[in-house]
Structure 1
Amino acid sequence: MSLRFSLMGPVRGWRDDEEIDLGPRQQRAVLAALLLNNGVRLSNDQLIGMVWDDPRPSAVMALRTYMYKLRKAIPELDLKSKDGGYTLHAELFDDCRGEPFEGLSSTYFEAQRVRIANERLQCREALLERELDVLDLQKHVAAFPLRERPRALLMQALYRDGRQAEALEQFHEVRSLLNEQLGLEPGPDLRATHARILKGDVLLSRRLEQLPPALPDFTGRTAEVAQALRALPQTVGITGMHGSGKTALALHVAHLAKRHYPDGHLFVGGDDVAGALLRAVGVENPAGDKAALWREKARGRRFLVVVDDVRDPAQIADLHTPGSALILTSVRRWNELPGVHWLKIAGLTEAEANQLFRQVLDPARADAEADVTDVVLKRISYLPNPIRVLGGKLAGRPHWTVAMLLAQMERETTLGDAIPSDCRAVLAPMIKAAAQLTDQERHLLQCFSRRDADVIDVCEAAEMSGGDPGAIEFLLEALADVHLIEPLVLGRYRLPHFVRMYFGWRVPALTS
């Protein structure tokens, strides 16, 4: 369960995805004052002075009442009372929407609004400096025409795009505005930018942009995205079975975080990760200790690197550099890699799976057969990649119902080698996983899949497969490492529905 609060717009709080009723305006003001001083002890007098400009004697009792109601509304809130004061520890996020503390009007909150507005403006301009996007800079300059730093950045961005005349026009425009409205001349930074453009010696550096686009229908994974963003620039590893959406999550996080890494955003894979990174930064035919050479090239720079489908931890063991960030995807969790913040993902939640299916397919068609849709999604363990394939198949067959799709899925369990290409696309994660198993692992999964129970222990697995319990435990652990079964307590494992469906078919051509 996660608890988070926002001070942008009205003071709001959420428990997971459900918004919490934080009570009347003054009660929200008390909470806002505590959140603004996260982790700092505030005395009763300090809190009262923040919330009320002209407090009455009854303010002390009102404060106690609000504290009681906040504890009751949010019992898990870390709100501590000691020596006539209060301390709160909570997670805040800034969604950059609206004016801070909307509806709160004390002198304290007015001063905080000014402070936060200035900080947000500075952060926005720092981001604009890293991105140097002409359109974004033009919008910002239009909103704040007298600010010189973003005007200088716009001049640089226009010059970089080969628009020297427009860049110089920006200087003359802001100079006129400053003269007319403030009686001032442009400052030294703006004049220096103007002089460099006239001389043609503006240093241009094109940032490496190799990230594939994020999925427009990316759905769910709210907690995992938040954990990954908090962990960066520590290396983040995303692990899960084939088809669980590891790459989609990695790219989604990378696009959210890339503004913090101005020197380049790289996407690599394969067996020579260090070599691919070196080639991306202009090192042709790299040889020798490639990891050491990469660290030398990346020293003092801030790269964001996504390494997709890591199959050998030695590939990336020595690639992390201070200031840069690595996001890894791998079916296996490589515990031997130090300093990695691992995230394990599986299928989406039932609600998220339905949401994704409705994005791919016409929502009205999915809603008309909600019960059948639930059955279809459960059969594929709510995995996002098969959901997209099935939703796309139905979208291309406007006269089909979801029930027809389910009937076809059931018939295909008896077709053996003659499985249609669209079904193979749905099964692609399992086909890929099966190809990487040993004969013993595949046989054990087939035995497990034909049982009525979803959960099995080592002794039951040994009995049904005819193997030695000690050896069977190693096989079960190997299958758990690639997420084809889910470890519960020691010696007990659960089989996901999608894995059961596939390996219970006994389709030799697909599992060879």
Structure 2
Amino acid sequence: MAGVHLESRDRAVGFTFQVLGELKVFDRGQGTVPVTAGRQQVVLAALLLESGRLQNCDHLIRLLWAEDPPETARTQVQICVSRMRKTLAAAAVEAAIETRPPGYVLQIDDEALDLNVFRRTVAEAAALGAGDRTAEAAALLRAAVGMWRGPCLNGIPSDALARVAEHIDEERLAATESFIELELSLGRHHQLTAEIARLVSDNPLRERFRGQLMLALYRSGRQAEALESYREGRALLMDELGLQPGEDLRRLEQAVLTEDPSLRLERPAAADLRGTGQPLGAPAPDLGPEAVADEDGHPPARAAVPRQLPVDTADFVGHGQLVAEAEGVLTNTSPDRAPGIVVVTGRSGIGKSTFAARVAHRLAESHFPDGQLYCQLRGGRADPVDPREVLGRFLRALGLPGPAIPDSLEERGEIYRSMLAARRILVVLDDAVGEEQIFPLLPGGRSCGVLVTSRARLTALPGAHRVTLDILDERGSLELIGNVVGADRVGGEPEAARALAAAVGGLPLALRIIAARLAARPHWPLASMVQRLADERRRLDELTHGEMTVRASLALTYDGLAERDRTLLRLLSLTKGSTFPSWIGGPLLDAPDAYPYPSDLMEPLVDVQMLDVAGVDATGELRYGFHDIIRLFARDRLAAESDETERRAAIRRVGGAWLALVCEAQLRVLGTRYFDGPAVRWSPPADHVGTVLGRPLEWLDTERENLSLTVESLAQEGEDGYAWELAVNLAPFFETRGYLDHWARTHRKALTAVRRSGNLLGQAALLASLGSLHLNRRNLPEARLSLTTAVGLFEELGHTKGLGLCRRDLGLLERLSGHDTAAMDLFEQAERHFGDDDPWARASVLVQRAVILLRRGDVGRVEAELDEALGIWRDLGYLGGQARVLQRAGQLHLHRGQPGDARKVFTESLSMVRDDGDVIGEGYLLHDLGRVHARLGELTQAVSYFNRALAVREGILDQAGAASVRVDLADLSLRGEDTAKAGGLLTDALEVFGRLGMAEEQERATGLLARVTAGGAAEGR
């Protein structure tokens, strides 16, 4: 019976997915389906271990990147899921990965996964054993363990998932222990001795296996070997863990010594199938919280859980009392308290940011489980971060899509406080310039905490508790030096160590710098560093005097660098971002020979702690960063040691390098170059560019801060030619991702520069791009002013492409204003400007014009022009354009009474926008699919799509869109004669339509409400 029962569970006759060993997927012919190593493996493995259950996207992000995900993490997960869907579909694998906010569910047959079959088999064996069918239970368990092909998820590239797999491996061991025990009870000790000995060798600390080996040896007449096995186990436990064997093993030893009659096998013993390990048949360890479904069966949306804290410094020392003091304020649970606010102040280099990171990490999970927000406010620089921009970042991190973020500081603050009101979140604001920068960023509720660092005391911040950091005392200084160079070296030269601590005045930054030099030179005695400091007496005398003490310490390291390293350090101070990529050293030094390993330029500076390694980005590129004080020091050296010609040339090369990469990214995403100007490019070698831009949109997300700050820096430096061209070529990316704030800020800075220099082409290009920005924000008067001004400049310059772009956008403006005839005239002018040389731009005109043609009923022309646009964008590889055309094509099919065809293209377009992370497009397409199903009479499916569309629209604060969906839901409710529900939906929708002046939508809703009223009157009669 057992053999027949298990045959259907053999991997070779039907498993589709294998996790008991290496992760594998099999097609119907039992061939292996390739799964891309890395992130795709991790995502598929996590979905398989919880098949049929919702996997939160935040949980998948933690599995991939632990607590340090890139800003593009959610997009990368979406791409992984999309590619996995395509892989499974191409291999005809019967599996579906469904998107259910806030994550994904893998739907497969239970028999398709070997782990499910293993667990079911173990549970059946337990039932057989409970019914005294010992032999059958043992055979079933042995066969179940035989399904394993190695450790669970062997080689999976995720530490977190590997830990989950270890728990599953425990199930295998527990099942093995159970069938061994069952077979021992059946008198098979002679046959089992060698097998159990191998298990003990593989698991030497597992006492149950050792006890089973002792019992098998004893029953086989090998008493001395049984006792020797016990002694080996005892010695191993003492050596490895300092522990004696457990009570069960000690009793067994005593029983063997005394030849206890209870060890004899007189009758089959009742076997404990569960043993001392994990219960057999237990479910897999929980991989994440499972959402509770709503009444329609859809899981509710979960708020994003941001984890933005910088890394905690391992060598943090001292300030124990102040840490406790800060934690006490932040964790005060008194019901009448205001939000806990701690302000950490102190001189430059004292360790404010390090202190804040330590406190924040200690409290993150225990007291602020809903997330931690972090921003470096750049208070020590000339361009501190605007609180409006910080709110934009925080709202994104909290899950609000870019296009849904309002423009004004006040509105952003209202949404921010609302989103934090019922959540326990810690807000860390590093290096604040003053109270004015902080006030808009404070939560309103009592459940959150705020941790601020600043050079200023911020005495006007109400209710704040101030923590002032001072220098480390001798004990703390010696501990810090010992953490870096090793406690043995400090213990070997205690007097020299104390002299070093005194020489730098206990300043943490200076201590770390000097200790790092000693760590890099293990052959130097500590006394030699004391002597070197003594040689610089005048400068060392200033170590106790404010900021110059740090510069003096930095100069000791700087003077020991090679000339090229000193030059690079000075030029790196021209960068403005908090981190920068390794390739930037090439253009700074004009060193094309630095590739393919540009990080080699940076490492000498890392070795002496003048640069910090900030991590590795999604492309595998190393990233670096400055401590603020070191950046200031490098700028001082730049002013003192580099002439203006060297500085200006480096600025242009870096601007040209960023521009070259942005234009290449455009070509890879759009299939074309958006707007070429005269600025000279500086490009790394093609192979390195290919590595950096392997995923262009992810690269943009990673470098968004650097790109924006580079535009601003170029504008400030008077390099307006580079500034405007970089800004304009960034605009398509900012639009795709909804980064409207970055779009506006870069263009304003660049426009000031080109106006100052009289650069007409730059002015025209920037104004045209700003016109597109105003259209995105539906600010039609500003859009008209910008675009018409740009038209005048482009006409003066005779720039046909610029004229085409402006007239295309003016056509859109007229269409949105209801002036279809004027719009068509402008579209035709734009088409003539573009001609045959710019098919991409022509396709954009065709898609815009299709809306008007469809309104006019010119179906044939719409179909022809959409086919042409789709062909153009497919040839160019522009996926976003293809999705846009397919949506228009679906609307055309509906217009022609072809809902089946509409459903097909809407579904294809929906998959594409989800892969791109386009939440706005997803909302529109879900609504479109609801209308298709309603047209087909499939009302249950229609309601499902409308509800999902409503959730998306409400999630991005799209009131008009949500109201439109409610009208369609009301229409379906009327079909089902649920007039009460329809009336509530229509009343809500009419309030929005009236407030926004949406006359056409208001008319339809009013007509439906009249039917509701008429139905109610009929019931009354």
Tell me the TM-score range normalised by the shorter chain: 0.3 to 0.5
Structure showing greater Rg: 2
**Greater RCO structure (CA 8 Å; 6+ sep):** 1
TM-score by length of 1: 0.45
* Structure with greater proportional helix content: 2
Q: TM-score, normalised by structure 2?
A: 0.24
